[in-house]
């Protein structure tokens, strides 16, 4: 069912509605689709969406015109999702952690150490489990087009490195606005503190939080390395980004247009994987050059620490069954 926003959000959404106008044009000869997202133009995911727009135009010989609006020009992640649900925005990129607020099954990606390594992760994204997850959002007026790799998330801190879970005790660690991410950080011994991405740099500077957790490109491009000089690559989660289209907009496309757009999305996924790998290598080199100490802790104590958290999900059979299916992927 449609997510009901608070009354205080109404004016914001109405303003964003006017900015976005309509997600897909009514011109039957040319379909114009807008993608709004929160990343800057240097990010691999933004570049992948630009590539999608190029491929869609080429495949359709101009019948599909996709425009990409970065840096929250059309709203935050959550606002963009809400605009998709009413059809006033065509597409967006959203973290799976934020998407769990709309489609709860996506919480599985915020659970620690469910994805074993990079090869296992891509098999899940590209296989039947990944496809089922992408289509599971349709009842919420959102259709998943593809995943985008967001690497692995690890802890970065201001005053001391994180070598074991015990080092997190007493530290306020920023998390995304995801109940599962909060549970994960708390289970590891930290004090989870949800803060929006745009406010995090200042929060780190002012000591509102002692650290955060994210992937290397985000750590670097956000310039959080200017404040946090310790980056501990324990790689506790691999939360992907998800490219989502409004089902209202999707259903307004012809079958041929849907095929062109899906093919372009699939190709952008492959393109983004390559860009992401290059960005991780460049980002780690850059933060090391800036004086950050990069630590490679033993993951075993972290894995052991969160086992009780995973077992808690036996009370949610759908999620627990999915965890087991993901673990069974070879």
Instruction: Tell me the pLDDT tens digit for each residue of 260-275.
Output: 999 999 999 999 999 9
118 C-beta neighbours (distance < 10 Å), count: 15
Task: Extract the tokens encoding 13.
Answer: 């959404």
Q: What is the pTM of this model?
A: 0.83
* pLDDT over 80 at 3, yes or no: no
CA gap 201, 120 in Å, rounded: 33
Confidence (pLDDT) at 270: 98
> Selecting from 3.40.50.300, 3.30.420.80, 3.10.20.30, 3.40.190.170, what CATH number does the domain 7-106+118-149+240-281 have?
3.40.190.170
Which long-range contacts does 6-13 make (Cβ < 8 Å, 24+ apart)? Answer: 9/79, 12/75, 12/79, 13/79, 13/82, 13/83
110 closest CA partner among 166, 175, 40, 27: 175
261 closest CA partner among 27, 57, 36: 57
Instruction: Note the Cα 14 to chain centre separation in Å.
Output: 25
Given pLDDT bands bounded at 50, 70 and 90, which one contains residue 214? very high
Domain 153-238+286-324 in the same topology as domain 7-106+118-149+240-281: yes
Domain ranges of the chain: 7-106+118-149+240-281, 153-238+286-324
Task: Extract the tokens encoding 52.
Answer: 């999608």
The topology under which CATH files domain 153-238+286-324 is D-Maltodextrin-Binding Protein; domain 2 (3.40.190)
Q: 3-class SS at 191?
A: strand
Tell me which DSSP letter residue 43 carries: S
């Amino acid at each position: 069912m449609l997510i009901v926003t608070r009354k205080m959000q109404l004016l914001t959404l109405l303003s964003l509605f006017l900015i976005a106008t309509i997600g897909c044009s009514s011109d039957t000869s040319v379909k114009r689709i807008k993608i709004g997202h929160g990343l800057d133009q240097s990010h691999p995911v933004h570049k992948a969406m630009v590539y999608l727009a190029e491929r869609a135009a080429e495949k359709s010989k101009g019948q599909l015109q996709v425009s990409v609006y970065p840096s929250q020009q059309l709203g935050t992640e959550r606002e963009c999702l809400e605009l998709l649900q009413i059809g006033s925005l065509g597409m967006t990129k959203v973290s799976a952690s934020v998407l769990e607020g709309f489609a709860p099954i996506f919480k599985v990606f915020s659970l620690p150490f469910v994805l074993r390594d990079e090869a296992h992760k891509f098999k899940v994204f590209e296989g039947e489990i990944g496809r089922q997850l992408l289509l599971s959002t349709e009842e919420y007026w959102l259709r998943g087009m593809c995943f985008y790799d967001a690497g692995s998330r690890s802890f970065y801190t201001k005053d001391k490195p994180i070598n074991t879970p015990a080092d997190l005790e007493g530290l306020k660690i920023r998390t995304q606005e995801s109940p599962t991410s909060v549970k994960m950080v708390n289970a590891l011994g930290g004090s989870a503190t949800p803060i929006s991405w745009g406010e995090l740099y200042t929060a780190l500077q002012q000591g509102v939080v002692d650290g955060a957790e994210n992937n290397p490109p985000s750590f670097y491009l956000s310039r959080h390395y200017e404040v946090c000089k310790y980056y501990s690559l324990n790689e506790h989660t691999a939360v992907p980004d998800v490219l989502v289209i409004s089902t209202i907009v999707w259903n307004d496309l012809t079958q041929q247009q849907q095929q062109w757009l899906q093919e372009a999305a699939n190709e952008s996924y492959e393109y983004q994987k390559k860009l992401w790998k290059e960005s991780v290598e460049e980002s780690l080199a850059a933060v090391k050059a800036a004086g950050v100490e990069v630590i490679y802790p033993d993951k075993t104590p972290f894995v052991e620490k969160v086992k009780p958290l995973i077992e808690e999900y036996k009370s949610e059979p759908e999620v627990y069954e999915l965890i087991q299916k993901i673990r069974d992927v070879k």
